[in-house]
Amino acid sequence: MLSRLLFLSAVLLILHGCAGRGTDGTTAKPKPEAGSPATGSVTPDKSSTSLNIASGPGIAERPDVQAFIGEISRKHGFDPKALSKVFAGVNFNQAILAAMAKPYEAKPWYSYKKLFLTDARVQGGIEFKQKNAQALADAESKYGVSQNIITAIIGVESSYGKRPGNYRVIDALSTLGFGYPKRGEYFRSELAHFLLLCRDEGMDPFQPIGSYAGAMGMPQFMPSSFRRLAADGDGDGKRDIWNNPADAIASVARYFSQNGWQTGAPIAVSAKVGEGVAYQGLVSKSLKPDRPLSQFVDIGITPEEAVTGSPWAALVKLEEESGPALWLGFQNLYAITRYNHSPLYAVAAYELSKRLVP
C-alpha cells in the first residue's frame, strides 16, 4: 500500500512538474480553456462504487501506446517517462469492448423508454429537485435552461449521481483508444484531454471513475466537455461533477447554453398524420429542424398540442409496440442531441422532464 502511494505521488509530481515547460527550460502554468471558470483540486468519491478493474499487465510497452505518449508529450509538454509510468498501471478491460457492442440505443423505443421512464427515476428526480432547488434556480437564471431538463439529464445519465459508472476512466479510454479501431481516434483524443484534465485539476489519473465509454460524474461528461464546459456552480473554485450537485447542475446548464438551447421555446410534441399522407420521406435522422411547422401542417402532419407560432421542426419516428409514433421536434430537442446524438435519448430525457413537474 505504501509503495502504491509513493508511486502515485511521484507520478503526480512529475505530471505537474512538466506542465507547460517552455523551450527555454522555464515552467509556465498551463493556460485555462477559454471561458472556463477558476478550478481547484477535486477528488472523485469512490466509496459508493465497486470498481470494475480488469487484472493484467500495463500497456506502456505497446508500440501504439508509446507513439501516443510521444505525440502528447511533444504537443502538451508532458514528461514521456512519467506517462510511461502511468500507462504501466493501466489495464485493458474486455467488458468495456463488450458493452460498446450492445449500446442501449440499439433497442426500439418501446424497450428503451422502460429503462428510464420508471417510477423510481421520476421520484428520484422530484427529490433531487427538492434537495437542490437553489442550485437549479441559479443555473436556470444564469444559463436559461429549464430546471426539469437539467434534472432529467442527470437522472438519465447517472440516476442523480447514484450510478456514475464503475470503470476507471483511464482504463476505459485506453481500452477504447487502443482496442476499438472503429472510434479509436476519438477515444485517444479524449484520453489526451483526460490526462490534461488531471494535470490541470491536480487529480490522480487513477482516481476518476466513469462509464465504460469514459464519461464522468453525475452528468457523465467526456473529458473534452469537462475541460471546455464544466462549471463551478457554488463559487468554491472547483468543478466537482462527481460529488457536488451544484457543479453538476451548472455544468449541464452551461453545456446546453453553448449548444443551441432556446430559453422558453418548445421542445417537442407528438403528432398525428392525416389519412393517406406519405410521411416516410420526411422523417429526420439527425433531429435538426428542417422546415417550418406550418409546412408540416400544410402536408397533413399536425401537432397534438398547441404550439405558438411556426418554429422550425423535424419529424421524428419512434417505434411503439402498437406501431410507429410520430413527433415534431424543435430546436431544443435537437439541442438535447448535442448531449447524446440518439433520438431515443433526446425523447426519453424530455419525457422524463415532463414527469418532474409537480
Given this model, what pLDDT does residue 104 score?
A: 67
**Residue of 332, 345, 168 lying closest to 259 (CA atoms):** 332
Query: How far is it, in rounded angstroms, from Cα 190 to Cα 11?
Result: 20
pLDDT category at 309 given cuts 50, 70, 90 is confident
Amino acid at residue number 64: D
User: Residue 185: pLDDT above 80?
Assistant: yes
Active centre residues (catalytic)? 157
- Give the cell for residue 40: 481547484
- CATH code 1.10.1840.10 for 268-342: no
Distance CA 284, CA 152 (A): 24
> 356: helix, coil or strand?
coil
Nearest by Cα to 175 from 84, 61, 92, 272: 92
Q: Alpha helices of the chain — where are they, by DSSP H?
A: 2-17, 63-76, 80-87, 94-100, 109-116, 119-131, 133-143, 147-158, 169-179, 184-201, 223-229, 245-257, 293-299, 331-337, 343-354
The domain spans of the chain are 44-91+165-215, 107-162, 268-342
pLDDT single digits (tens) 49-71: 444 544 446 798 999 999 999 99
Mean residue pLDDT of the chain comes to 87
**Could you give the CA distance from residue 125 to residue 123 in angstroms, rounded to a whole number?**
5
Task: Judge if 44-91+165-215 and 268-342 fold alike in CATH terms.
Answer: no
Confidence of residue 356 (pLDDT cuts 50, 70, 90): very high
3-state secondary structure of 315: strand
Displacement of CA 24 from its chain's centroid (Å): 38
For the chain, give me the number of helices (H) and strands (E)? Answer: 15, 7
CATH number attached to the domain at 44-91+165-215: 1.10.8.350
pLDDT (mean) for 113-123 = 96
Distance from C-alpha of 358 to C-alpha of 351, rounded to nearest angstrom: 14
Q: What is the DSSP letter of 47?
A: T
pLDDT band at 272 (very low <50, low <70, confident <90, very high): very high
* Alpha carbon distance 261, 27 (integer Å): 40
**What's the pLDDT at 103?**
72
Q: Mapping DSSP to helix (H, G, I), strand (E, B) and coil, where does residue 138 land? A: helix
Q: What is the pLDDT of residue 118?
A: 97
